Chain A
């Protein structure tokens, strides 16, 4: 089978990035959070709910619902519907599917939304019911969850490439500095490298500040064609390129790279840009060591040079490599599947110039990545998107 060239995303845009501020615990349901996000989308875009004719939903805590239940719940009559259960890769997958739907005129305005609640038992229930391989062969071995699984990956990665906890900690510390400017971040106090290093052990070498805080929240945006956005007078972000890959490098005995490494040439070629051209980068930071892996796999440095890259760059908003400007999941919180959207939604605000206190000056070209689904021993899903604001 020969591979064919992909069609460009001509005239496909994203608009109305929405964040419903997170809370640590919520007595509300996932449906409540998703409803808030849909309401905010409609309000911000100045449209009626009936103008939404496509819906794409991601959530871990909707119980027995999927997207179809939500159409009736929220009174939406759509002609295109998708439910994406890809964890941290959900946002990239959503924008890819929605973009093709509006490009083919199967829908005109697709609402992409992710939201989760966090009850006392929500996180453990998600872990226990995550996947078949997890139930058979991971959870019964101590139920360390993602912390233990990523600890194995992190330990191997750090030993193989000579990475220290200080190197990894720089990412978490820089993101906390960014988060202090984001009023919606759950983490409100500064974090020093000393505090990072002195944190209690969770699953060696994963310590407390390597972990995200499970919380409740929602994120959303709209996908449409540029003429639709223009007719609504909506500032819009052009989608330049995307990649998505699942179960890449299955032959690697332990994960040292994600699927990005397989498709990264296509990502930049399709967008017609180089890694150096990007003004703002939002990686999927479920653990800072995974962010370091992304710096390599997304082409900012070579494999094994992630630690040196982090030492040589200032990852803060005012720095030379503005990264996870909202504070990322590490400092804002991880609202389930909304964690996948957090980077992309913040990236959209950045290139629209509407990020407020976390705004990077003159940001016009952004990248957001996603990563997720530690089905057994590694993260299976990866994706990335490059997008440009109106000023570019």
Chain B
């Protein structure tokens, strides 16, 4: 049997209601490649078909050789966390309602530097990390990181 839908709880008028807001929408067409990969639980980055350079963020030409052939390929997942911060006062309503946001700058072993969400990360603020891709509502794809999570290693 299907359980009947419960009526919503009565609102406590003393509590502040979260403002309705959507995550920011503008995104380049090419960057949807990350979202597509994340939907399959894969971390894919663009790699130049001519010189093999991995790049990030989404580009239309290789920053090493200007070749236009940048294909999304499965990328090695390891990287070094260079620095982290916790954004406590975002300017965007969607993020401000869900603050704070912990982010970090990760230098991937395969080359590029990635701004990533830091999820369930303990310990110091630098060191080796495994980076993974998730379907996440706001960033639509890339890169929560978890220290030493070998399941997502690649």
Contact = CB atoms under 8 A, between A and B. Distances in A.
A127 B58 contact: no
Interface in B124-150: 125-126, 138-140, 142
Contact of B85 (A135, A137, A203, A250): A203
Interface stretch (A146-154, A167-175, A326-334): A146-154
Given A137-B115, A141-B103, A253-B107, A132 B85 contact: no
Interface in A237-277: 250, 253-254
Given A136-B58, A137-B115, A376-B57, A152 B27 contact: no
Contact of B125 (A124, A155, A253): A155
A142 B90 contact: yes
A2 interface: no
B37 interface: no
Please classify how large the interface on chain B is, using the bins under 10, 10 to 19, 20 to 34, 35 or more. 35 or more
A152 B107 CA distance: 13
A196 interface: no
Please classify how large the interface on chain A is, using the bins under 10, 10 to 19, 20 to 34, 35 or more. 35 or more
A148 B83 contact: no
A139 B24 contact: yes
Interface string A188-213: 00000000000001111110000000
B89 A137 contact: no
Contacts of B57: 132-133, 136-137, 376
A135 B104 contact: no
Contact of B101 (A129, A132, A135, A141): A141
B31 A137 contact: yes
A49 interface: no
Contact of B92 (A128, A133, A153, A159): A128
A271 B90 CA distance: 43
10 contacts: A123-B91, A124-B91, A128-B92, A132-B57, A140-B27, A141-B101, A143-B92, A145-B91, A376-B57, A377-B105
The 5 closest A-B pairs by CB, nearest first: A142-B101, A144-B87, A143-B92, A151-B85, A137-B57
